[in-house]
Amino acid sequence: MASVDTTLPNRLVLEALRQRALEELSGWRLERTEVSLGRSRIDFLLARGRRGRLALEVKSVTLVQAGVGLFPDAVTARGS
């Protein structure tokens, strides 16, 4: 998804998870949002059964060209 509103993708995914609208994640349920993991944070923690856990991170981009998401205005040392 290309978006300049950085909160929109997470809101859309949260609603899709609540509605169970993502076929690829059928069988998984939303357990928590904004979960601390060490010194990081993940967007969503999903659960399946007693022990199944899935960390789901949502990303958006500011430009899509030929189906490829790009960040042309976000140059970082990590990304080079």
Tell me the pLDDT tens digit for each residue of 8-67: 999 999 999 999 999 999 999 999 999 998 999 999 999 999 899 999 999 888 888 999
Residue 19 has phi, psi (to 5 degrees) of -85, -5
Asked if pLDDT for residue 2 goes beyond 80, the answer is no
At residue 76 the predicted structure's pLDDT band, cuts being 50, 70 and 90, is: low
> Which residues of 1-80 form beta strands (DSSP E)?
29-37, 40-48, 52-56, 63-65, 68-70
Helix (H, G, I), strand (E, B) or coil at 14: helix
- CATH class of residue range 8-70: alpha beta
Q: pTM for the full model? A: 0.77
